[in-house]
Amino acid sequence: MHLHRYEKIWLTFGIGSLIIFLTVLGVSAFAMGHQPPSHMAKVDPQNVRSEAPFDEPGLRQIDETTYQANIIAMAFTYQPNKIEVPVGSTVRFHVTSSDVVHSFTIPNTNVNFMVTPGHINMAEHTFTEPGTYLVLCNEYCGTGHHHMQMTIEVVE
């Protein structure tokens, strides 16, 4: 089969970028443990509050610098509505919804995911700067959507 020289160049370029892209994806998924926020962890959306971990929403310390935050999103707030962690902490957010689809978004961070009922949606973030972080819902969820927020205090 005869291939034009230009065709060889752009085919090499295309296949090369595909290989680079899949390598980056593979390394971040299998070596660094990145996964979609909803993954496969499930919870009964009808009885969110009756079983662990959402029977006791709030912050739980896992080790010296790691915390797990179990948060229930609902129209039109989050429970708990405010958490406080020391600066340098890594917080694992485990969020579910007791009604419709919401989101859990901390502006200017990589924490920005949909909160789907029936799933435990997860993300992790290390807070290296002290301050008050706003959490917003960016999935339209009803008439009070624009009031839906919570705060994370990162203290020295």
Q: List residues binding Cu ion (CB under 5 A).
A: 102, 137, 141, 148
Sign of CA dihedral 34, 103, 121, 91: positive
Q: Are 77 and 99 in contact (CB under 8 A)?
A: no
Specify the residue for token string 């009756």.
50
Q: Is residue 143 within the footprint of another protein (CB under 8 A)? A: no
Nearer Cβ to another protein (16/58): 16
CB contact at 8 A, 56 and 68: no
Three-class SS of residue 154? strand
Which tokens belong to 82?
Answer: 């405010």
The nearest distance, CB 55 to another protein, in angstroms, is 32
Position among 61, 65, 81, 109 found at the interface with another protein (CB under 8 A): 109
Selected from 50, 52, 56, 108, the binder of another protein by CB under 8 A is: 108
Residues of 31-58 as b/e, b for ≥16 C-beta within 10 angstroms? eeeeeebbeeeebeeeebeeeebbeebe
144 token code pair: 């009070």
Nearer residue to another protein within complex by CB, 81 or 128: 128
- For the bound state, the minimum distance from the C-beta of residue 139 to Cu ion, rounded and expressed in Å, comes to 6
Judged by CB under 8 A, the residue of 2, 6, 52, 56 near another protein is 6
Identify residues 19-78 at the interface with another protein (CB under 8 A).
Answer: 21, 24
CB of 18 to another protein, least distance (A): 11
Residues that bind another protein in the complex, under the rule CB under 8 A: 4, 6-7, 9-10, 13-14, 17, 21, 24, 108-110, 126
